[in-house]
Structures are given as C-alpha cells and as structure tokens.
C-alpha cells in the first residue's frame, strides 16, 4: 500500500515480493542484491527503520526513506485466552478493523490471518460472514499481519523443550481468518510467495495453508501460481445441505469442487487436501452422513478435520456433542478415511474457528452465491 507524504507517495515494501522489490530498488538506482538485503532486515530481523539497516549504503538508505516505508497494520486491542491463544484487533483504515489469532502449541505456533475486511460468502454458521463485506486487504496488509505478530511474539518468546535451534514463535501461517482468500487472489498470491521465500519469512510451503470455501476457477488458477497447503470448507456430504450451509455451492457444487482439488494436488505434487467440517448438532453429524463422506473421499488423498461448532450471538446452530463427534470420526476411520478432531482454542475471547468478527462498516450487500459474484472476486 502506498501513502502520500509531502506530495509524494511512499511505497510500503511489505507489499512487494522479491522480483518486484528488485525492480523497485533498481528504479531508485541500486543493484538487485539490495532487495535481498532489505528482505533480510525486514523479515529476518523485523526491522522497519531504514537508518538501522547498517550494511546498506547511506545514500541508498536516504533514498529509501524518501520514497518507501515498512508499515504494518496498527494494533487496536490485544486479548489473551486462558489457554495461551492471543488475538489482535488491527486497524485496516479509519473505520474498518480485522482480527488475527496466534495459537501456541508445544511443537509449533500457528498464526491465523485475514485476507479481507469482512466476507461475502454468507456461510450460515460463521460469525465473520454475518458482518458483511467491505473490501479486500492489500498484499502489504496481509504480509504486515505476520510481520507484526512476529515482532510482538518474539519479545518474550521462550522456545519449548525439544524445539529446533533457532525456532521462531510462528512456524505455521494459515489464511483462515476473516475473508475468502481466493476472492482476493491478486493480493494473496504475492503474500504467499513472501511467506515461503528464503529471504522472506522462509516458512515451508507445507506450513502455509490457504483455506477456501470453494471458488473453483480460482483453485485452478492457484495451481498455476503458487504451491502451499490447501484446505477446503466442505461441511456437508450432499449438495442440498452444502448449498444451505455454504451458498457458493450453488455455483460450484461438490463434484466440481473435488475435481478442482485433485487437479491442484496433481499440479503441485501435494500430499493431500484437508477438508474442514464444522460439526452442527442434528444438521450434519449423523453416521449416515459420515458414510456419504466416505463415498466422496475414499481412495483420494484427503483428510477430514472435524471442527466443533463455536457459537456466536444470534446463531441458530448448536455444537454437536463430544460423543456424536467421536462417533462420526470413528465411522470415517472405520471406512478408511483419515479424520481428526480439532481442539477448540481461544473460545473464551471469541478467537476460535468461525468466531472472528473484527469491525466492518460501510458493508457491501454482495453475496458470492448470487449474480453479483464478480463484484467481490478480485483476480
């Protein structure tokens, strides 16, 4: 994102992947290797002040200060759960705010980030969807979340027992926060490349996960653009039920969605697709529905992540009981489909899956299942 300062625009370097950053430093009279140095300072050391980048020539630092900046979203509020989960409310602009969540575990630390202010998909069980949709986040705003969280977390980070040498607090990044990442493909893809770049955050592609509700054309495009882990919000074994829960299914039904998933794995030599399945009492949690999922997924490189529903104000749904979820998982396992149950984290601060709401004003009445889909999808 560029901002105007004293009549000129200063470009936010967090929004530039390596080739674009090399082109930028070339445009101000420096060699391409300066871009790699800049990336090491920004991502390896979390530095935003050009004057502190001491191995850069003074005249180059002066030119950077004149036309560039390293600027992350501003923190509005921080909350910490009893289980260690941390949530930040971040200012997107004067009226809008987004949320991101950090989930610490013994062997890893996962940062869940947002890709849009609000969401247009209108999934009936998701709090974010009830906020409406305002706009896409820029690449700098997406990358800035990880940059900011790394700086915040590294202040007091103590590596857990058995951690690898040099382990940092953020080992995994998931685009599972506010918004549909594939509806903002133009800005999301450069961010993914920065996350996995050796001179960026240097995160393994298998530890960067993009979660989508099923924008099929964009899954095919993603397969041509970048190699990361893919997670898909399935939530139902039949088109009738999925269209009720996830309205985009009316445009891209399950068969079409699964074909796109298998194509993505073929193109990217991926191990498997994770299918997310929120457990709703009396809606999608019956053993017969588990067997229908088996017919869809058995024999394919797929695993199901069963997610206990996290309630929010005004919802009509209830969480499936623990016994029902266990029975559902056992049915899947007995028929050869890998399934796990996600442990709920951060629900005491509304940081659990499906609870992120942020602050969305001036909302657009755009629904991706409708004729106005083109208004909300930026490719």
Write the DSSP assignment of 194-251 as a string of letters: HHH-TTTT---GGGEEEEES--HHHHHHHHHH---EEEEE---SSHHHHHHHSGGGGT
- Share the mean pLDDT of the chain: 88
In the chain, CATH 3.20.20.70 sits at 74-376
Question: Which whole number is the average pLDDT over 47-58?
Answer: 95
Q: Which residue has the tokens 């209830």?
A: 318
165-179, 204-218, 253-267 — which is least confidently predicted?
Answer: 165-179
Torsion, Cα of 152, 79, 203, 36 (10° steps): -30
**CB-CB contact of 245 with 123 (8 Å):** yes
Task: Provide the percentage of residues in the chain whose pLDDT is more than 90.
Answer: 72
Q: Is the pLDDT of residue 354 over 60?
A: no
Phi-psi region of 346 (alpha: psi -120 to 50; beta: other; left: phi over 0): left
Question: CA 125, CA 139: separation in Å to the nearest integer?
Answer: 28
Return the DSSP state at 319: B
Q: Which of 112, 119, 126, 353 is catalytic?
A: 353
CA distance 8 to 77: 31
Contact call for residues 102 and 351 (beta carbons, < 8 A): no
Q: Which candidate, 65, 79, 68, 71, places its Cα nearest to that of 145?
A: 71
Structure token pair of residue 340? 């796990």
Radius of gyration of the chain (CA): 21
Residue 99 annotated as catalytic:
yes
Q: How confident is the model at residue 361 (pLDDT cuts 50, 70, 90)?
A: low
Work out the widest C-alpha separation in the chain, in whole angstroms.
69
The mean pLDDT of 300-316, rounded to a whole number, is 91
Of 107 and 369, more confident: 107
CATH architecture of structural domain 74-376 = Alpha-Beta Barrel (3.20)
Distance CA 249, CA 232 (A): 12
Whole-number Å distance between alpha carbons of 204 and 291: 34
**pLDDT mean over 223-231:** 96
Average pLDDT score over residue span 81-106 = 89
The pLDDT confidence band at residue 359, using thresholds 50, 70 and 90, is low
Q: Which residues contact 178 (CB under 8 A, 6 or more apart)?
A: 98, 99, 114, 115, 116, 117, 118, 119, 128, 131, 356, 357, 358
Burial class (CB in 10 A: 0-12, 13-18, 19+), 336: exposed
Catalytic residue among 99, 152, 276, 331: 99
How crowded is the C-beta side of 64, counted as CA atoms within 13 Å? 23
CB-count burial class (<10 Å; 0-12, 13-18, 19+) for 6: exposed
Q: Report CA torsion sign: 61, 62, 67, 68.
A: positive
Residue intervals in the chain for CATH 1.10.150.530: 2-69
pLDDT mean over 266-286: 94
Any catalytic annotation for residue 123? no
Our CA dihedral for 156, 157, 161, 162, rounded to 10 degrees, sits at -160
Say whether pLDDT at 265 is over 70: yes
Which pTM does this prediction carry? 0.90
Give me the CATH code for the 2-69 domain, please: 1.10.150.530
């Amino acid at each position: 994102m560029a901002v105007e300062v004293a009549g000129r625009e200063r470009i936010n370097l967090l929004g530039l992947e390596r080739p674009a950053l090399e082109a930028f430093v070339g445009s101000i009279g420096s060699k391409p290797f300066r871009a790699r140095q800049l990336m090491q300072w920004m991502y390896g050391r979390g530095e935003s002040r050009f004057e502190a980048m001491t191995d850069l020539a003074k005249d180059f630092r002066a030119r950077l200060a004149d036309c560039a900046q390293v600027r992350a979203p501003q923190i509005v509020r921080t909350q910490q759960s009893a289980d260690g989960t941390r949530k930040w409310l971040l200012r997107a602009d004067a009226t809008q705010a987004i949320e991101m969540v950090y989930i610490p575990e013994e062997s890893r630390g996962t940062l869940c980030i947002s890709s849009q202010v609000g969401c247009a998909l209108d999934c009936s069980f998701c709090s974010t969807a009830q906020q409406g949709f305002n706009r896409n986040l820029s690449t700098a705003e997406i990358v800035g979340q990880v940059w900011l969280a790394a700086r915040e977390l590294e202040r007091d980070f103590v590596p857990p027992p058995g951690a690898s040498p040099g382990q940092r607090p953020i080992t995994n990044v998931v685009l599972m926060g506010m918004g549909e990442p594939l509806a903002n493909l133009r800005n999301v893809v450069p961010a993914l490349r920065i996350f996995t770049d050796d001179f960026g955050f240097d995160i393994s592609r298998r530890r960067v996960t993009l979660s989508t509700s099923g924008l099929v054309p964009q899954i095919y495009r993603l397969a041509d653009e970048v190699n990361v882990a893919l997670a898909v919000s399935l939530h139902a074994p039949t088109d009738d039920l999925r269209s009720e829960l996830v309205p985009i299914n009316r445009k891209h039904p399950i068969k079409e969605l699964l074909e796109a998933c298998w194509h993505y794995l073929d193109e990217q030599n991926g191990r498997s697709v994770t299918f997310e399945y929120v457990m709703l009492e009396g809606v999608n949690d019956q053993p017969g529905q588990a067997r229908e999922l088996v017919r869809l997924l058995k024999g394919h490189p797929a695993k199901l992540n069963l997610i206990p529903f996290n309630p929010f104000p005004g919802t009509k749904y209830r969480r499936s009981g623990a016994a029902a979820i266990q029975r559902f998982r056992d049915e899947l396992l007995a028929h050869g489909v890998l399934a796990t149950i996600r442990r709920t984290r951060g629900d005491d601060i509304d940081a659990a899956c499906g609870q992120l709401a942020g602050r969305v004003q001036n909302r657009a009445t755009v629904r991706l299942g409708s004729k106005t889909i083109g208004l909300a999808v930026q490719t």
